[in-house]
Amino acid sequence: MPAEEKNMYRRKALTICLIMICSLLPGCIEDTDTVENDNHLSIISYDAFGITQEHLDQFTNQSGISVEITRAGDAGGVLSTAIQTKDSGLFDLAIGIDNSYLGTALEANIFQPLEIDRSIFSSRALSSYDGNLAIPFDVGSVCINYDSNYVDGENITVPTSLWNFTEPEWEGKFAVQNPRTSSPGRAFFIATVDYFSKDNDSQTNYVDWWKSMYSNNVIVTDGWTTSYETHYSGGYGQWSDGFIGDAHAVVSYCHSPGVEAYYGGNWTTSVALNIEGASFPQIEYISFLYGSEKSSSANIFVNWLVSEEINSQMSTINWMYPAIEGWGIIEDSGYRWHSVVPIDCDIQISQIDSNISSWLDAWDTAMA
Amino acid sequence: MKVRNLVVISWIILVILPLILAWNQLNVVAERNIFEIILDFNNKFQTKNSIFFTFIVAFFSMILTLIIGLPLAWNLGRYKWRYHNFLRSIFTVPFVMPSILVAMGFLALLDFLDILINHNHSDETRFYTLLFAHAWFNVALVIRFCEPLLSTIDRSYEEACRLLPSGKTKISRLRYFWLPLMWPNIAASSALVFVFSFTSFALVKFITPAERNLEVVMANQSEWAGLPVPSLSRVPSEIVLASSTIQLITILLALSIASWLQSQSSGFHLLSLKDGRIRVPFKSLRGVYLLLMVMFIVSPMISLISSSFMIRENGSMIFSLQGWESAFSGSHSPTNAYESLKSSVEYAVLTVLFSLPLGFLLAESIFNLEKTNPKFATFLDVFVMLPLALSAVMVGLGVLLGLMRTEPDLARSWWIPLYGHLMLTTPFVVRVLLPAMRNLNPHLDEAAALLGANYLKRLISIRLCLLKPSIIVACSLVFAISLGEFGASWVVLRFTEYTTLPVMIGDLLSRPGYDPILRPAANAAGTILLLITLVLFISVERFRPLGSGGEF
């Protein structure tokens, strides 16, 4: 065969191959339209939501409903996406909007009612909201954790008031999260607003405390991971890349030391600090979004999430307390022993919704 | 209307549309004008020092990259080494690595150095680490811009220069011979390094958590920016509006300079088609230097790979394969490494199929315009590069605000992430093909036209044949960038059901690391990505034409 003819055949073969690849590839990526039916739920959740594919497969096998979870950052990200896609039907359920954001969500009118028996929930889970637009699935208090190695080693008195953290022994050694960019940061910030409005000192408020903290070189990070994993000396971060460990106190959950103990063979130096009113009771909700017409499937999923079978395991699935009555965190490896249930601040979600913008503006200025 | 013009217009619309959508929405919510907001930047915690930090980091990263990159380009361009192509691949791979992995690699390296010198790293150490990480990431730009030109400058010109009074010393030859010859390429690569360091996100976020550049500031505020909840979204909208404006103006300026300088660099007639490089053994001072540089490049990669085998257990780190097992079984992530890799490869192949013709037509348009309308050619050249410089936040906002409101179903289509990949890779196709087109002998095309060959025949029989090596290089580059693409996918892909390997890594890293398997699993997935990219680059390097014009 002449070389020219050979080249021609080669070129033709190449063209045919290319056309075949072009026509096959879009087929490899299944179009979303094919899965949009009543037996398919599209859920938006925060990144750290711990339900695994294994759990979801289990749900699908039981109910015949397939589930697709889309991650949208933190609780704020879930809410902002839910507001953006309001009425679109893009997502059926939103997982993870907490009580610090719930007021805004209710104001934005993005939820539809769910049919769930609320008598199954603990009073703690229903303390912020007991309606049928947002169903609690786990709870946990946000509070200060400290490294007992530092407190015991330096012979420092365990703080009994938030003002203690403005003293020289805590200078540059306390890590908090930016309340504009982090859910635990926002929760703790709200707790400080309430704490200083109810303390015995009427001359000072949260702005004064934050100003003093700024002068005391408080470490402010954009997210929980950086403050806990990179800065906090008492957590698992000490085994992570890029660990600094300059903070001996951090804002986290009151049961974080319990989780540390659970993975550390019942050993941790981290301790949750129980200062009355200086912690925020975070309650996470699942809600049925406006625009979705899959009410039946949505109710089945929510009932499954708050069922004893799944919800009782929340302390290992999602590192939070179950929302249903009669269940707590497990006792294995000192998980429960190292966890603290504090006396939380008491603030209404409507109060948060109407004031949060001005509180945050004041914080921005106090910290600059 | 010609297909080429249609492509140019479509590109301009595709680039501008998300920006217009985002800006419009931000403007609706913002109450103050941009100047007021910028003047207030240092009075607010969210934005304090961010402008200064962004410029300082970009400037010093650029200087450090040049200090590291230029001697490397010289040694690769003027000397022939054993395993030369392998070395070139090693020095180019960092540029296509997902920045989130680079950050992890450098942090692991920093820890290792801390143990060696028994020192706890301060903010200052982290700042320098960030500069080195930027230099590591961008050194490929300096090498790719300068090495091809250096490798093809005929040695006889340098010899002639030595005989002249102004060419007696090394410094005088550098001043009167090399710098005048090289400065457009040096300056063009500097401009791009500046741009990439200016818009750096993951490296700044992870390596210097105490500081924020404009990109981090925008990413932090993006959640609420542009939303119709003024009580919560006013401040974020104002910050994103002002930050993106500063960023866009700075970058447009830098890219215009780069484009203008690059157009100055074509037309040198000192080039020779023969390989004028001198063979040097590794057992020399120059060889030791090169091996040290290889160590600098591979160290973060090795630390990343080794981290995937280490797991904490009862307060100490032990060797374990659990991270790898978890990555392949998907026990700690929404999907496993096989599925993620499959999605990544599918997107990468699709990106190559779309990006190549698009980039070819854009490069051809610029090439033709350079002869008829040079000013518009420069404008289009800058415009082609613009997506690289745009904040992923702005593109993401535009896509999400625009599509989610109007066509929510469209926002979850499989091809939406493809849009992000095309925006990021097409500029590189242009950067590879344009200099190759400039180097083609125009008489061949003219002669074929005179003999009656139509455009398609000339394209297939002459231009594509001659451009084949550059097309192969462009394919590999697009494939690798698409494979490792994280930012745009993270913003957009999360709204679809497809998880690529970088998105799987991001997912594993974004969860609290209480569970000791999460981070090693992320590092294992990162190692898979690293090895695939490395193999791809090494195997394709031999197709790269000698002295391919002095661009990427």
Question: Considering only CB atoms, which chain A residues are within 8 Å of B236?
Answer: 180
Residue at A257 is within a domain: yes
pLDDT of residue A15: 47
Taking phi over 0 as left and psi of -120 to 50 as alpha, with beta for the rest, A73 belongs to left
CB-closest option in B228, B229, B314 to A265? B314
State whether A82 and A110 are in the same domain.
yes
pLDDT tens, residue by residue, A118-175? 899 999 999 999 999 999 999 999 999 999 999 888 888 899 999 999 999 999 999 9
Q: What is the pLDDT of residue A19?
A: 44
Closest Cα in chain B, distance from residue A50 (Å)? 9
Q: For residue A202, how many other CB atoms are within 10 A of its CB?
A: 8
Nearest by CB to residue B512, choosing from A48, A85, A221, is A48
Q: For residue A355, what are its two tokens?
A: 């004031």
For A231, which residue in chain B has the nearest alpha carbon? B209
Same domain, A120 and A207: no
Task: List the single best residue of B229, B235, B309 to mutate versus A (max A Cβ within 10 A).
Answer: B229
Q: Could you give the angle at the alpha carbon of B91 between the alpha carbons of B89 and B92, nearest 5°?
A: 65
| Cβ atoms B349, A21 nearer than 8 A | yes
Q: Are B353 and A21 an interchain contact pair (Cβ–Cβ within 8 Å)? A: yes
Instruction: Using the predicted structure, report yes or no on whether residue A30 has a pLDDT greater than 50.
Output: no
**Bridge partner residues of A321 (DSSP):** A139
Number of domains in chain A: 3
HSE, side-chain direction, 13 A CA sphere, residue B246: 24
Give the separation between CA B178 and CA B182, rounded to whole angstroms.
6
Residues of A in contact with B353 (CB under 8 A): 21-22, 25
Looking at residue B270, what is its pLDDT?
A: 58
A40 has a pLDDT exceeding 60: yes
Q: Which residues of A touch B495 (CB under 8 A)?
A: 70, 90
Q: For B496-507, how does the pLDDT look when each residue is reduced to its tens digit (9 = 90+)?
A: 556 788 888 877
Report the predicted TM-score, pTM, of the whole model to 2 decimal places. Answer: 0.83
In angstroms, what separates the C-alpha of A106 from chain B's closest C-alpha? 12
**Four-residue CA torsion sign, B314, B319, B321, B323:** positive
Residue A32 CB neighbours (<10 A): 18
Partners of residue A24 in chain B, C-beta under 8 Å: none
- CB atoms B120 and A360 under 8 Å: no
How many whole angstroms separate alpha carbon B429 and alpha carbon B475? 8
Give me the residue from B108, B229, B495 closest to A83, CB to CB.
B229
CB-CB neighbors (< 8 A) of A90 in chain B: 404, 408-409, 411-412, 495
CB contact under 8 A, B209 and A83: no
Q: How far apart are CA A65 and CA B213, in angstroms?
A: 44
Q: Is residue A106 part of a domain?
A: yes
Of B346, B405, B413, the CB nearest to A28: B346
Of A23, A57, A80, which to mutate for an interface test with B (greatest number of B Cβ within 10 Å)? Answer: A80
For residues A89 and A293, is the Cβ–Cβ distance under 8 A? yes
Interface test with B, best of A25, A29, A259, A320 (most B CBs within 10 A): A29
Query: Taking CB atoms and an 8 Å limit, are A180 and B229 in contact across chains?
Result: no
Shortest Cα–Cα distance, B504 to chain A (Å): 11
H or E stretch at A144: strand A135-147
Classify the phi-psi angles of A277: left when phi > 0, otherwise alpha if psi is within -120 to 50, otherwise beta: left
Tell me the one-letter amino acid at A34.
T
Distance from C-alpha of B120 to C-alpha of B137, rounded to nearest angstrom: 25
Phi, psi of A218 (to 5 degrees): -60, 145
Domain region containing A77: 32-139+283-322
pLDDT at res. B273: 58
Q: Cα separations (Å) of A148 from A167, B314, B514?
A: 18, 18, 19
Angle at B233 between CA A132 and CA B43, to 5 degrees: 135
Is B235–A85 a contact, with Cβ atoms under 8 angstroms apart? Answer: no
Cα–chain center distance at A189:
15
Determine the pLDDT at residue B356.
93
CB contact under 8 A, B332 and A52: yes
Partners of A40 in the β-ladder: A66
- Residue of B104, B353, B495 lying closest to A70 (CB–CB): B495
Mutation target to probe the A interface, by most A beta carbons within 10 A, among B37, B514, B517, B518 is B514
* Same domain assignment for residues A302 and A292: yes
Crossing angle of helices B99-117 and B518-541, in 10° steps, is 110
- Find chain B residues with C-beta within 8 A of A319's C-beta: 512, 514
Q: Which residues of A touch B350 (CB under 8 A)?
A: 25-26, 29
Give the distance from CA B38 to its chain's centroid.
28
- Put simply, the answer to whether B212 touches A222 (Cβ < 8 Å) is yes
Q: What is the pLDDT of residue B396?
A: 67
Chain B CB contacts of A11 below 8 Å: 460
Residue B528: which of B333, B324, B295, B303 has the closest Cα?
B324
Closest in B353, B414, B495 to A31, CB measured: B414
C-alpha closest to that of B95 among B55, B135, B151 = B135
Which pLDDT belongs to residue A259?
94
Closest residue in chain A to residue B126, using alpha carbons only: A242
Surface-to-core class of residue A234, CB atoms within 10 Å of its CB (0-12 exposed, 13-18 middle, 19+ buried): buried
Tell whether A191 and A274 lie within a shared domain: yes
Chain B residues within 8 A of A108 when measuring between CB atoms: 229
Contacts of A218 in chain B (CB under 8 A): none
Whether residues B412 and A21 touch (CB distance < 8 A) is answered with: no
User: Do residues A276 and A307 both lie within one domain?
Assistant: no
Q: Give Cα A11 to chain centroid, integer Å.
A: 56
- Calculate how close chain B gets to A223, using CA atoms only, in Å: 9
Query: How many other C-beta atoms lie within 10 A of the C-beta of residue A205?
Result: 16
Chain A nearest-CA distance from B516, in A, is 8
Residue B420 contacts residue B492 (beta carbons within 8 Å): yes
* pLDDT value of position A337: 92
Round to whole Å and give the CA distance between B327 and B321.
10
Whether the CB-CB separation of A110 and A134 falls below 8 Å is answered with: no
Let me know: does A320 contact A139? Beta carbons within 8 Å.
Answer: yes
- Is A327 among the domain residues? no
Asked if residue A164 and residue A105 are part of one domain, the reply reads: no
The whole-angstrom separation of Cα A174 and Cα A192 is: 15
Q: Work out the minimum CA distance from B524 to partner chain A, whole angstroms.
A: 15
Nearest to A368 among B44, B312, B350 (CB): B44
Contacts of A27 in chain B (CB under 8 A): none
CB contact under 8 A, A225 and B510: yes
A246, A231 in Cβ contact below 8 A?
yes
Please check whether residue A149 lies inside any domain of the structure. Answer: yes
**CB contacts < 8 A (A, B):** 176
User: Inter-chain contact A108–B229, Cβ cutoff 8 Å?
Assistant: yes
Does the CA dihedral B283-B288-B290-B295 come out positive or negative?
positive
Type and span of the H or E element at A289: strand A280-289
Residues of B with Cβ-Cβ distance to A367 under 8 angstroms? 45
* Chain B: residue whose CA lies nearest to A23: B350
Low-confidence ranges of chain B (pLDDT < 70): 1, 115-121, 230-231, 262-276, 389, 391-412, 486-498, 542-552
Chain A nearest C-alpha distance from B349 (Å): 8
Check whether residue A85 and residue A129 sit in a common domain. Answer: yes
* Cβ pair B43:A76 closer than 8 A: no
**Residue range A354-362: average pLDDT?**
90
Q: Residues of B with CB below 8 A from A180's CB?
A: 46, 220-221, 235-236
Residue ranges of domains in chain B, CATH in brackets: 3-541 (1.10.3720.10)
Does residue A133 share a domain with residue A116?
Answer: yes
Yes or no, beta carbons of B220 and A22 under 8 Å apart: no
Look at residues B493, B363, B498 and name the one whose alpha carbon lies nearest to residue B421.
B493
Nearest residue, CB atoms, A32 vs list B227, B404, B412: B412
Q: Are B440 and B463 in contact (CB under 8 A)?
A: yes
Residues A242 and A115 in one domain: no
pLDDT higher than threshold 60 for residue A9: no
CATH of the domain at A160: 3.40.190.10
Cα Dmax for chain B: 79
What pLDDT was estimated at residue A32? 42
Q: State the sign of the Cα–Cα–Cα–Cα dihedral B90, B94, B98, B103.
A: positive
Instruction: Identify whether A311 is part of a domain.
Output: yes
> E strands along B205-325, which residues?
278-279, 310-313, 316-319
Whole-Å CA distances, A222 to A227, B31, B220, B472: 8, 25, 7, 42
What residues does A80 pair with on adjacent strands? none
- A180 plus A268 within the same structural domain: yes
Give ∠ CA B8-B425-B415 in degrees, rounded to 5. Answer: 85
Cβ distance A88 to B48 less than 8 Å, yes or no, reads: no
For residue A328, is it within any domain?
no
Give the CA distances from residue B230 to residues A190, A290, A359, B235, in Å, rounded to whole numbers and listed in that order: 20, 21, 15, 9
Regarding whether A289 and A175 lie in a shared domain, the answer is: no
Inter-chain touch B314–A267, beta carbons under 8 Å: yes
Angle, CA of A185, A187 and A193, to the nearest 5°: 100
A227 with A241: CB under 8 angstroms?
no
Average pLDDT, chain A: 87
Same-domain status, A222 and A360: yes
Residue A3 tokens read as 């070389």
Contacts with A262 from chain B: Cβ below 8 Å? 514
